[in-house]
Structure 1
C-alpha cells in the first residue's frame, strides 16, 4: 500500500507550491495557468543556462506558431559599384534559399515526482531549488537530443520505441536531410556508410571535416565563423591514435588529455556536444542553429496524485527547430571507423 507524504515532506511540497505560484505570478499553481511571456523568457534563460551548447545557439521567443525565420542571413556579396550615368543601381537578391519558414509543435515536458523522492529530499531546506534545477537541466538536455535526433512528429510520442525522442519534433539534422540533401553526405564507396581510416573514403578526420566544409556554400565558407561538431566516437578514435603515438611521453599525454593538440580539424575549431550522433560531423556556425518557442504558449500545472503516489508537474509549449541559413549547413553521417 502506498505511503502518504511524511509531515516534513508535506511541508516541503506545500512550500514548493507557494514558490511556484510566486515565481509565475499566480494564485494557485495546482490550476493550469498560462505563463506570461516575460516569465517565459526568464524560464527559457534558466533552461539555456543548464547547457553550454544552448548558450551558444539562438533560443528565440516568437509570436506565431508559423512564420518567417527570425535571422535571415545574406548568402553572397552585396558590395559593388554602378555607373549611374549609364544605368540605375540595382539591389542584389542575396536572401538565400526559398525555404524561410518555421513551424512549431506542441511539446510536453511532464515530470512525476514520487512521494518517496520528496521524502528523501525533505531534509534539504533548498528542496524547491533542487527540484527546479533538476527539471530545467532535463528539459535542456531533451532540447539538444531532439535537435540532433528528431526525425518526425508523432501524435503520441513513444519513448520506448524512440528513446532519443526521435518522434517529438524534426530537428536540425532531419531538416537538412529533407531540405538540402546535396549538403548531407550519407555514403561513399560503400553503400549506406562513409568509411574513415586507411583505405576508406577518408584517411583521417581532418580530411573528413575539410570535405564536409566544402558542402557549405562557397560564399559563406570563408566567413570565419564556421565550426565543426564532431561525434564522440570519431573524436575518441582520433585521440586513441595520438595516445598510441605519443601517450608514453608525460608532457604529450597531458596535452592530449586537455584536448590542446586536437582543438581543430580541417582548419575549423571543433567541438564535442552532448547527444550529438557519435558517428557524424556537422559544419555550420553557432548562430545558424535556433530553437523557437512561442512566447504566449507555455502552460503549467502541478497536481498531487495520490493514486500514483506522486506529484505531477505538467509543462507544455509550442517549440521548433530552425536552421537559419540552409546554405551554411553541411553534414556527414553514417561514418564507420575502419580497423587499423
Structure 2
C-alpha cells in the first residue's frame, strides 16, 4: 500500500532540498545538476570519512577518463657510485612500471530512503546531516565492495546475478589476477584448486600463509617498512577459535585475547580486517598502494520525492576507477580452505 510523508516529514524534506541547493550552488536539486569540482572534492571527503579503510588509501580527483597513474613509486634502489673518469653518471629509471595507465567508468550510486525513515528522522534537529550521512555511508561501503569484488565493468549491471557488485568496475584484486598472475596464489597442491590451512594442509597456520603471501611481493619493495596484511574474516575467526581452544580453562589468557586484538601481527606484518574483503583471502600491500580515482568534473546529483515507491531517492553518478599504484608491491592468496 502506498504511503505518504507525514506533514512534518514533508516540511523537513522540503527544507533539506533548499539546504542542498544552497550547498551545491544550484536552484533546484530535483533536476539533475553537475557538482563543481571543488564541491565534489568536499563530497568525496565526506564519503571517505564514513569508512576508516577509505581514509587510509588514496581517493584521487583526476581530470581525464584515461591517463597515467598519479602515484608512481620507485621499484628499487637509486643509490650507487660512478667512476666519472671512465663514464658519465646516469640517472636510474626507478619507476619500472609497464602498467602505468588508469581508466574510469561511469558509476551510479542511487540510494532510496523510505518515507518511514524520513519521518523518523524528521524530529531530529540534525535531519540534514542524518540524511546525507546515510547516503554517503552506503556509497563508501559500495566503493569498498567493488574494490575487492569487482571483475568487470558491464554496460548494464545486474544486481541479482552479481550481488557483490562484481560487474560495476574492475577492482584491485581482479587487476592483480590479470596483470600480475605470478603474484596471486590460488592453490597449494597442484590441481587442488584451493589453498588449505590447518593441520596436514598446505599451511599449518595463518602466520605461515601470510609469510608466503609476502614473498609474492617483489623483493625490491618488500622491505620498505610500510607493508600490511588484510585478512579475511573467516580466516581470522578460525585463528581466534584455535586460540580459545588452546587456552580453554585459562580465563586470564581468554581475557588477553579479547582485549589485545587477538594477535596484532601475522607473518611479521600488522594485520587488518576490512569490510567486504573476501572472507577466505589474504592481501599483502601498503595502504597507499591502493587508490580510487574519480573524474573531478563528472559528479552529478539529483534528489527527488517518489511517491510511487513511498521513498525519497538520491541519485549520484561520476566516472570512477580502481588503481594499484605499483603492481609489484602486492601479493594475494585466495581460495583458502580452513581444515578442521
TM-score w.r.t. the length of structure 2 is 0.97
CA contact 2:186–2:333 (8 Å) conserved in 1: yes
What does residue range 137-156 of structure 1 map to in structure 2 within 5 Å? 137-156=137-156
User: Which stretch of the first structure deviates more once superposed, 87-96 or 120-129?
Assistant: 120-129
- Distance across 1 between alignment mates of 2:53 and 2:84: 48
Q: CA deviation at 1:96?
A: 2.2
Q: Retained in 2: the 8 A contact 1:96–1:325?
A: no
Q: Tell me the equivalent position of 1:54.
A: 54
State the Cα distance separating 1:248 from its structure 2 match: 2.8
Distance (Å, rounded) in 2 between the aligned partners of 1:201 and 1:215: 16
Tell me the residue number matched to 2:221: 220
Deviation at 1:117, TM superposition (A): 2.9
Q: Name the SS of the counterpart of 2:59 in structure 1.
A: strand
Instruction: Classify the secondary structure of the residue corresponding to 1:235.
Output: helix
- Specify the alignment match of 1:82 in structure 2: 82
Find out whether 1:325 has 2:330 as its counterpart. no
**Secondary structure, aligned partner of 2:31:** coil
CA distance in 2, matches of 1:51, 1:274: 9
1:181 match: 181
Distance in 1, matches of 2:59 and 2:248, equals 41
Separation (CA, whole Å) in 2 of partners of 1:219 and 1:173: 21
Partner residue in 1 for 2:130: 130
Q: List alignment gaps of at least 5 residues for structure 2.
A: none
Note the C-alpha offset of 1:17.
0.2
Unaligned runs of 5+ in 1: none
Q: Which runs of 4+ in 1 moved over 6 A?
A: none
The C-alpha deviation readout for 1:251-310, integer Å capped at 9, x for no partner, is 211221124451111111111111100000000001000000111100011122233332
SS in structure 1 at match of 2:222: coil
Give deviations 1:193-243, integer Å, cap 9, x for gaps.
000111111111000000000010011111111100000111111111111
1:196 paired with 2:197, answer yes
Matched length: 339
Match of 1:93 in 2: 93
Counterpart position of 1:236: 237
Report what 2:102 is aligned to.
102
Contact 2:110 2:314 in 1 (8 A): yes
Secondary structure at the residue paired with 1:109? strand
- C-alpha distance in 1, partners of 2:142/2:308? 28
Measured after TM superposition, the shift of residue 32 of structure 1 is: 1.2
89-98 or 128-137, larger mean C-alpha shift: 89-98
Partner of 1:307: helix, strand, or coil? coil
State the alpha-carbon separation in 2 of the partners of residues 41 and 130 from structure 1: 20
Counterpart in the other structure of 1:65: 65
